[in-house]
Structure 1
Amino acid sequence: MTPIVLDPAQTAARLPYPLLVSELAQLLQDSSVQVPLRVVQRLPGGGSLFVMPALDARTAITKLITFTPGNAAVGLPTIQGDVVVFDVATGRRRLVLDGPTVTARRTAAVSLLAAQRLAPNTRGPMLIVGAGVQGLAHLEAFAEGLGVREFQVTSRSAASAQALVQHAQSLGLSARVVGDANAALADCPLAVTCTPASGVVLSAPPRDDGFISVVGAFTPAMVELSAELCQHFAAKGSVFVDTADAAHEAGDLLQAGLDVSRFPTLADVVLQDMKKPTGPVLFKSCGWAGWDLAASRAALRTDHDRQQLHHHHRP
């Protein structure tokens, strides 16, 4: 039997980006999916406990993680925890996935799905603002899923930026550290912001063919993009959100005074098979347990395929 509790490497191996993107799109078309509102409980000292359930006709999951932003300064992971996956019919626990790995990979896959459907220019280069776990996941996802070969990386930590550039080069990609994210935006039709969202990191106007996935902020108080930049996208381009929950979570858009409830969601894009918009595109991602359910479905699928393969090759 496969071990039920999977470590980060085992979890990642079950979540290849092409499969993840396909599961995300399928989940959005599955009427049996239910996602209650997540519980975000503040913890003493500045951290938060997230309890995120979701289910479909066959699978029920709960993501249980802590988010401790202060950990970044002392070299500890900011996200820790698990995704527990149950069989609906029997109640049996099927898998326990590594929470940070699921979070990183499903978030990058959501950005990738949005870019595949919405980005006017998918060639790159791509600007990555924030060189932590999410920066790494987005680099790998866009290289694998869109064939982007060239990256520019900027981070508050020079060491992190350099490490991500070296990782990109080890994958045969072209990458370099840039000092000024706003200046780099002029060269990069693709961009992602995945910082701790404790302050504005992008304020320059985007290219006409620009696509920015804004990942870091998931509360009204958090922000990565200036109000003027958000307003520019709303007036001269398009704004999309990952789910309707963004209406009370998308700090960047809320602080810009925009009515978030009027922006189309990724479900709208997939279900209506929307054409690519003209002009620059802002995609605001806040996170949703439905994305973790899609990742769990992908993990169960690869798990099943592995068992079948093992079964067929037994002497």
Structure 2
Amino acid sequence: MAAAIDVLRKSLLDGLDPEAGPPRSVVPVPHGQLLLMPAHWGSYAGVKMVTAAPGNAARGLPRVQGNYLLLDGESLTPLALLDGIALTSVRTAAVSAVAADALAGPDASRLVLFGTGPQARSHLEALSCIRPIQDVVVIGRNADRARAFAAEVGARTGTVDDIAHADIVACCTTARTPLFDGALLPTSATIVAVGSHEPDAREVDETAVARSTVIVEAVSAALREAGDVIQAVQAGAIDPGELVGLADVVSGGHEIPPDRPRFFKSVGMAWEDLVLAAAHFEAART
């Protein structure tokens, strides 16, 4: 995870422009969706294909499956086939950690974690790489699952009231409506939300968005896919011109006001998968 965070940060510092990436293609098929995410950067190209089949639960199969095909950037010769779901689990949390490292206070130690699934686990690992996380509060829809997850990772369960004392809030759920009242956020808090890339789903309400400096991977992608942002724009809580790109924050090109919460909304982009797939391929060859 630490290596993933470092390589993603370095790609942005080296000039990778998230705005230049092609949009995600979502192709409906009779029993679900195909999601295609191509990218090119440096010496490599690649594409992730993810399938979403809602009926797979009845078949005893995962609802979401996928693979990543890494290509040589010049000849476009296939080089490696990676587990797309494992790659997504790492890269999503690593991108959040890159953002949080640029946004959260250096002593941030109190984490409120929404969710009990793979992304919640990955985010705890990633955020612990960049900050001295000591107090973790888990909030989950299923109380038994939340208690079991908290016990497993050395955390405790809590309620949304814990947000008032949080340094970092990580939203890693499949929720389609806001998880908490944005008025609860302290001005020193950093929020990351990764649960959705659909315009009609959100984990964070317009109150939180209006109060915060909002950072996104790419403004164009956020305005296409980030329901947390799109719905706040529609409600008049934020102007699209106020959105800040992650690359500007990482490079130090945008100063973050100290008297407002910081909100990083991630939809997941193809460049992130490519950068990590290429780094994994190169490490495997040494």
For this structure pair, what is the TM-score category when the shorter chain's length is used for normalisation? 0.7 to 0.9
Quick one: which of 83, 104, 119 aligns to 1:98? 83
Q: CA separation in 1, counterparts of 2:172 and 2:58?
A: 16
TM-score norm. by structure 1 comes to: 0.80
The change in CA–CA distance for 1:215 and 1:119 in structure 2 (over 3 A counts) is: same
Q: Is residue 262 of structure 1 aligned with residue 247 of structure 2? A: no
The change in CA–CA distance for 1:160 and 1:268 in structure 2 (over 3 A counts) is: same
The change in CA–CA distance for 1:72 and 1:282 in structure 2 (over 3 A counts) is: farther
CA RMSD of aligned residues (A): 2.4
Q: CA separation in 2, counterparts of 1:113 and 1:290?
A: 14
Q: Is residue 211 of structure 1 aligned with residue 190 of structure 2? A: yes
TM-score norm. by structure 2 comes to: 0.87
1:301 aligns to what SS in structure 2?
helix
Name the stretch that deviates more: 156-165 or 276-285. 156-165
The change in CA–CA distance for 1:67 and 1:259 in structure 2 (over 3 A counts) is: farther
Alignment of 1:161-200 (within 5 A): 161-169=146-154, 175-178=155-158, 180=159, 182-200=160-178
Q: Is residue 28 of structure 1 aligned with residue 4 of structure 2? A: no
1:19 aligns to what SS in structure 2?
helix
Q: Deviations over 1:159-200 (max 9, x none)?
A: 43233223313xxxxx1112x2x2110121101111113222
**Unpaired stretches in structure 2, ≥5 consecutive residues:** none
Tell me if the contact between 1:247 and 1:261 (Cα under 8 Å) persists in the aligned partners: no
- How far apart are 1:158 and its partner, in Å? 2.5
Q: Is residue 88 of structure 1 aligned with residue 73 of structure 2? A: yes
1:199 aligns to what SS in structure 2?
coil
Q: Deviations over 1:21-48 (max 9, x none)?
A: 2211222244577622220123445x43
Alignment of 1:6-45 (within 5 A): 17-31=1-15, 35-44=21-30
* Number of aligned positions between the proteins: 277
2:274 paired residue number: 293
2:165 aligns to what SS in structure 1?
coil
2:164 aligns to what SS in structure 1?
coil
Tell me if the contact between 1:132 and 1:160 (Cα under 8 Å) persists in the aligned partners: no
Q: Is residue 240 of structure 1 aligned with residue 215 of structure 2? A: yes
Amino acid of the structure 2 residue aligned with 1:228:
T
Q: CA separation in 2, counterparts of 1:136 and 1:276?
A: 28
- How far apart are 1:261 and its partner, in Å? 4.6
Q: Deviations over 1:245-265 (max 9, x none)?
A: 112211012112233353111
The change in CA–CA distance for 1:143 and 1:29 in structure 2 (over 3 A counts) is: closer
Tell me if the contact between 2:26 and 2:33 (Cα under 8 Å) persists in the aligned partners: yes
The change in CA–CA distance for 1:37 and 1:132 in structure 2 (over 3 A counts) is: same
Q: Is residue 124 of structure 1 aligned with residue 105 of structure 2? A: no
1:282 paired residue number: 263
Q: CA separation in 1, counterparts of 2:252 and 2:142?
A: 41
Q: CA separation in 1, counterparts of 2:38 and 2:179?
A: 32
Quick one: which of 202, 209, 217 aligns to 1:223? 202
- How far apart are 1:89 and its partner, in Å? 3.3
Tell me if the contact between 1:121 and 1:190 (Cα under 8 Å) persists in the aligned partners: no
1:85 aligns to what SS in structure 2?
strand
Q: Is residue 61 of structure 1 aligned with residue 46 of structure 2? A: yes
- How far apart are 1:68 and its partner, in Å? 4.7
Identity %: 32
